[in-house]
Amino acid sequence: MTTSHGTGPLRLGIAGLGTVGAGVIKIIQRRAALLTARTGREIEVVAVSARNRDKDRGVRLKDYAWEDDPVALARRDDIDLFVELMGGSDGPAKVATETAIATGKDVVTANKAMLALHGQALATAAEDAGVALRFEAAVAGGIPVVKALTEGLAGNEVQRVMGVMNGTCNYILTRMESAGLPYDEVFEEANALGYLEADPTLDVGGIDAGHKLSLLSSIAFGTQVDFAAVELEGIQRIEFADIEQARDMGYRIKLLGVTQMTGRGLEQRMSPCLVPADSPLGQLEGGTNMVVLEGDAVGQIVMRGAGAGEGPTASAVLSDILDIARGIRVSTFGQPASSLVKPVPAKAAAPAAFYLRMQLQDKPGALARVAAVLGEAGVSINRMRQYSHAEGTAPVLFVTHKCPRAALDAALAGMGKTGVVEGEPIAIRIEEV
């Protein structure tokens, strides 16, 4: 067994020395004996690359060769494994990864954007070159969910995968709830704390989490990564009133990713959802991530942990590195890239119950008119609440019975014509978890 004898040192080239890259190097330096005991091999950093050579990263780099150009690093013939921690879906990260593969190196990456957009091409290239391409750190930070899904649940037909996979959004939503603050204010707080990406839409628009979801879809269903088909909705329109009302009804609002294979095709959604407050997803606080895996044999497996940060992300990167050191080889998305099928995206999400909030004018028969529009569209009402009037309008809440989103959209489109609804109604899906 590889683990019991080893096969000489595993030589790494690490591109990208931000928080995660520095974290990976710290672990390799501090835990050298432990890592060797576990893999039977020395884990050796040979060369590194980053934008700025002079920056103090709190880690000793002088024993490693330096490359200004990550592509030159990827091409070096004294490394076995290229660790890509630069980020960015295209540009240097992609070229360097392609170069590493083309020159016969295994690759470990934390780059969800690159894999969400180019995963199929890169996995195919890796397969053709006979090298590994692994990405545990790209999804849900420290939670070993890629491994759990690819290997731990390999005996299951996967039914559904759900996840809260953007810690920043979960922080914003739980902070709005606990502090009773509006979205804009908490967004500014999060920004000041450095929690947001340079382009905050990546976080609050659900794009980053959507990237992660699309990768899990591919493993779960044996399909080619299809990020373009992920139905994306961000958290920007969520108001404190919705969070408060959801809580009153026993729900919490989460930016929830759901992927499932249905008779109508592959359904991938990343959107705000109401989930039961007493479910594991509902109980999730702050920046923590959670992924729920559902298989036909195993039932529901819930995994929870830090979704970002130096230590957790470095832990995930190390997991891939040490797998490779141990001789563990698994196809990027759990089966040969050539066997992944192009998914047919579901045209519409599965029917669901919805939470609806609207401002109703204080006119006789107003509620009846709204109810009629819902009924005509085939949307039936499960629960309704009307609150005390303020300045001529009253907030009204509905929880519908299960209905297709199209029926709900038809009803929403008809609300304007009632002449009694102020502004845009808010509709949020209620997910059965």
User: Footprint of its own copies on this chain (CB under 8 A)?
Assistant: 1-4, 23, 27, 31, 34-35, 37-40, 127, 130, 132, 136, 142-144, 147-148, 151-157, 222, 278, 280, 283, 295-306, 309, 311-312, 314-319, 321-323, 326-331, 334-336, 338-339
Helix (H) / strand (E) element for 261: namely: strand 251-262
- The tally of CA atoms less than 13 A away on the side-chain side of residue 427 is 20
CA-nearest of 271, 248, 433 to 349 is 271
N residues, the chain: 433
Nearer to its own copies, 314 or 379 (CB): 314
CB–CB of 250/277 below 8 Å? yes
Is residue 64 helix, strand or coil? coil
| Pairwise CA distance, residues 347 & 367, whole Å | 32
Which DSSP category does 149 fall into?
Answer: I
Residue 142, both tokens: 């420290």
Amino acid at 175: R
Cα torsion through 357, 359, 360, 361, rounded to 10: 180
CB 79 within 8 A of CB 103: no
Residue 331: half-sphere exposure toward Cβ, Cα within 13 Å: 21
Rounded to whole angstroms, the Cα distance separating 356 from 426 reads 6
Measured from the CB atom, the residue of 342 and 383 that comes closer to its own copies is: 342
Helix or strand or coil: residue 320? helix
Residues assigned a catalytic role:
212
Q: Rounded to the nearest whole angstrom, what is the least distance from the CB of residue 324 to its own copies in the complex?
A: 11
* Shortest distance in whole angstroms from residue 329 CB to its own copies: 5
For its own copies, give the closer residue by CB, 154 or 229. 154
Strands 381-386 and 393-400, how do they pair? antiparallel
- What DSSP assignment string belongs to 185-232? HHHHHHHHTT-S-SSTHHHHTSHHHHHHHHHHHHHHHTB---GGG-EE
Tell me the pairing of strands 421-430 and 353-361: antiparallel
Residue with Cβ nearer its own copies (301 or 371): 301
Q: In angstroms, what is the minimal distance from the CB of 334 to its own copies?
A: 6
Query: What is the smallest separation between the CB atom of 359 and its own copies, expressed in angstroms?
Result: 35
Closest to its own copies by CB, 34 or 413: 34
Q: Quick one: which of 230, 23, 56, 38 has its CA closest to 142?
A: 23
Continuous H helices in 240-305: 240-248
In this complex, which beta carbon is closest to its own copies, that of residue 156 or of residue 236?
A: 156
DSSP 8-state secondary structure symbol assigned to residue 182:
-
Nearer to its own copies, 16 or 23 (CB): 23
Report DSSP state, residue 420.
-
- Beta carbon nearer to its own copies, 90 or 157: 157
- Cβ at position 35, least distance to its own copies in Å: 7
Give min distance, CB of 254 to its own copies, in A.
16
Task: State the minimum distance, in angstroms, from the CB of residue 385 to its own copies.
Answer: 27
Choose between 291 and 408: whose C-beta lies nearer to its own copies.
Answer: 291
Task: Give the distance from CA 91 to its chain's centroid.
Answer: 22
Q: Output the smallest distance, CB 117 to its own copies, in A.
A: 23
Between vectors from CA 187 to CA 183 and to CA 193, what angle results, nearest 5°? 150
Q: How far is the CB of 275 from its own copies (least distance, A)?
A: 14
CA separation for the pair 14, 202 (Å, rounded): 25
